[in-house]
C-alpha cells in the first residue's frame, strides 16, 4: 500500500482482556518498529524487526507484551491481561532498508484505552 496501515484505529479493552494490534507496513519495507506513545509524551521504543527477525525487543515493558512478524510483512503486537497503564497510542513505523536513510514512515496509530 501507499502508507503504513494500522488497525484497529481505536480499541477499548476491559482490564485483564487480551488485545491484538495490527500493522501493515509499506510493501517491501524491510524494517518495522513499534512505539508506545503515552498522552503528552514522545514515542517510546518497544521492538524492532528486520524482515521476520525480531532484532531488538528491549523496549517491551513486560512479558505481557509480545510482537511477531512471521512472514516479514504484517506485524502484530499482542498485549495479554491488559492493565490501565497500557493505555496509550501504539505507533508502527517502517523503513525501506535497515539503515533508513530516507527516514521512517509512521502509521496513524492505534489508540488503546483500558477501562
Partner 1 sequence: AQSVTQLGSHVSVSEGALVLLRCNYSSSVPPYLFWYVQYPNQGLQLLLKYTSAATLVKGINGFEAEFKKSETSFHLTKPSAHMSDAAEYFCAVRASGGSYIPTFGRGTSLIVHP
Which residues of the shown chain bind partner 1 in the complex (CB under 8 A)? Answer: 4, 31, 33, 35, 40-45, 48, 56, 91, 93, 95, 98-109, 111
Reported as half-sphere exposure (CB side, CA atoms, 13 A), residue 22 has a value of 7
State the minimum distance, in angstroms, from the CB of residue 66 to partner 1.
19
DSSP string across 49-86 = EETTEEEE-TT--STTEEEE-TTSS-EEEEESS--GGG
State the minimum distance, in angstroms, from the CB of residue 72 to partner 1.
16
State the minimum distance, in angstroms, from the CB of residue 11 to partner 1.
14
Q: What value, to the nearest 5°, has the Cα angle with vertex 100 and ends 60 and 106? A: 60
Rounded CA separation 63/48 (Å): 16
Nearer to partner 1, 80 or 111 (CB): 111
Nearer to partner 1, 8 or 16 (CB): 8
**Residues near 5 by Cβ (< 8 Å), separated by ≥ 6?**
23, 24, 107
State the minimum distance, in angstroms, from the CB of residue 108 to partner 1.
5
Nearer to partner 1, 28 or 103 (CB): 103
Amino acid at each position: 500500500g501507499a502508507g503504513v496501515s494500522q488497525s484497529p484505529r481505536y480499541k477499548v479493552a476491559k482490564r485483564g482482556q487480551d488485545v491484538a494490534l495490527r500493522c501493515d507496513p509499506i510493501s517491501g519495507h524491510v524494517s518495522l518498529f513499534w512505539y508506545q506513545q503515552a498522552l503528552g509524551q514522545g514515542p517510546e521504543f518497544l521492538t524492532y524487526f528486520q524482515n521476520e527477525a525480531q532484532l531488538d525487543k528491549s523496549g517491551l515493558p513486560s512479558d505481557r507484551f509480545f510482537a511477531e512478524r512471521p512472514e516479514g510483512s504484517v506485524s502484530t503486537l499482542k498485549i495479554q491481561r491488559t492493565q490501565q497503564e497500557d493505555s496509550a497510542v501504539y505507533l508502527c513505523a517502517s523503513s525501506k532498508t535497515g539503515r533508513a536513510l530516507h527516514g521512517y514512515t509512521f502509521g496513524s496509530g492505534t489508540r488503546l484505552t483500558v477501562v
